[in-house]
């Protein structure tokens, strides 16, 4: 869990820093730092579900052999 939390802090920091450097706005930097990682987390959840299905389909022929 500690690894996940430190990655989240790193992700927020990168999102904020890049957006702030591009816009010069603390407000926009903060908004992007909150919104982007949240959306990315949801997308990652579905990405994992798709990959688990792909892996299960690959293992099925091996189990039947």
| CB atoms inside a 10 Å sphere around CB 11 | 15
How many Cβ atoms from other residues are within 10 Å of residue 12's Cβ?
17
pTM: 0.63
Buried-exposed string 18-30: b where 16+ CB fall within 10 A, e elsewhere? ebbeeeeeeeebe
Q: Which residue has the tokens 């903060």?
A: 30
Tens of pLDDT along the chain (65 residues) come to: 788 788 888 989 999 999 999 999 999 999 999 998 888 888 988 999 999 999 988 887 776 76
Q: How far is CA 54 from the centre of its chain?
A: 20
- Per the structure block, which two tokens stand in for 29? 């930097």
State residue 47's pLDDT score.
92
């Amino acid at each position: 869990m500690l690894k996940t939390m430190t990655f989240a802090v790193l992700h927020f920091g990168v999102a904020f820093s890049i957006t702030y450097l591009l816009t010069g706005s603390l407000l926009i930097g903060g908004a992007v730092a909150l919104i982007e990682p949240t959306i990315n987390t949801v997308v990652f959840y579905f990405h994992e579900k798709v990959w688990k299905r792909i892996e299960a389909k690959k293992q099925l022929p091996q189990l039947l052999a």
